[in-house]
Amino acid sequence: MSTTLAHDAPVIVDPRIAERRRSVEGERRRRRRLRLLIVVAVVGVVAGGWFLTRTSLLDVDRVDVVGSTRHSPEDVVTASGLRLGDQLLDIDGGTVADRVEALPWVDTASVAVGIDGVVSVTVTERSAVATAVDGSGARVLVDPSGRVLGPAADDVSGLVPLEGVTAGSPGETVDGAEGALQAIGALGPGARSRVTTVVVAPDGTLVLTLDPEGLVLFGPPSDLEAKATSLAAIMGQVDQRGIASIDVRDPANPVVLRNQG
């Protein structure tokens, strides 16, 4: 006995299996829609954020300059490279500070960017301790690091003139002045007030001229603290009249010579 199956006979599917298939397919469609919505939302947020940073809501509305007396606010802003309308998020505070610190009188600069569109540039300025003559013969101000600050147009009392070196343009460092400036820094207020000039010899040794008369043979710019201490002790103990020279090249054994007659 044989049994023949018709090719067009309907396939009977268990209702529970059919329902399960429909449920699985529906879940797949929901997950696809959810993923699509997430992608659309992320793209929208990113695009919206980018457009927000490009609008006037986050650009530079004002630049405030604090602490600058030697350079005008306009000069500081120009040096900073900041412009009204620049995007706040594009500002690199370190780069802006470096530009401002290139100004001769600026020692340090800090930059604060406010969400309100205000950028604050705060500077600390350098101080002059000496003067030097530049290539044109004009006397200029010099700070403790040897940086040329600008023309010595103001009162220069209390500043020590440097001789034997030539200053460059404002913002440059005076070549060969490092030892002389370190010697000035080592001197106490009393001794420094007596120094009228620091001469840098071609070999780098230092000679100080004193008011009202006399020289200090400082020698090379080494053992400066010991030499300054020795000089201060001599000035405090020895009659200053008629002194030809005070030799502190060996600070432990200073030698005082007086003018004859």
Based on the fold, state whether residues 86 and 157 are members of the same structural domain: no
CB 231 within 8 A of CB 207: no
The pLDDT of residue 86: 94
- Residue 81 confidence (pLDDT): 97
**Which of the listed residues 99, 125, 151 is the one where a domain comes to its end?**
125
Within a domain: 6: no
Q: DSSP label at 57?
A: G
Q: Tally the domains of the chain.
A: 3
Same domain assignment for residues 179 and 230 = yes
Least confident of 45-49, 163-167, 223-227, 239-243: 45-49
Supply the mean pLDDT for the chain: 88
Average pLDDT over residues 187-213: 94
Report the pLDDT averaged over residues 43-67: 70
Cβ within 8 Å of residue 237, ≥6 positions away = none
Higher-scoring residue by pLDDT: 47, 73: 73
Check residue 30 and give its pLDDT.
Answer: 76
CA 104 to chain centre: 12
Whole-structure pTM value = 0.76
Q: Which residue has the tokens 């049994």?
A: 3
Do the domain assignments include residue 74? yes
Query: The domain spanning residue 170 has which CATH number?
Result: 3.40.50
Q: Is the pLDDT of residue 5 over 50?
A: no
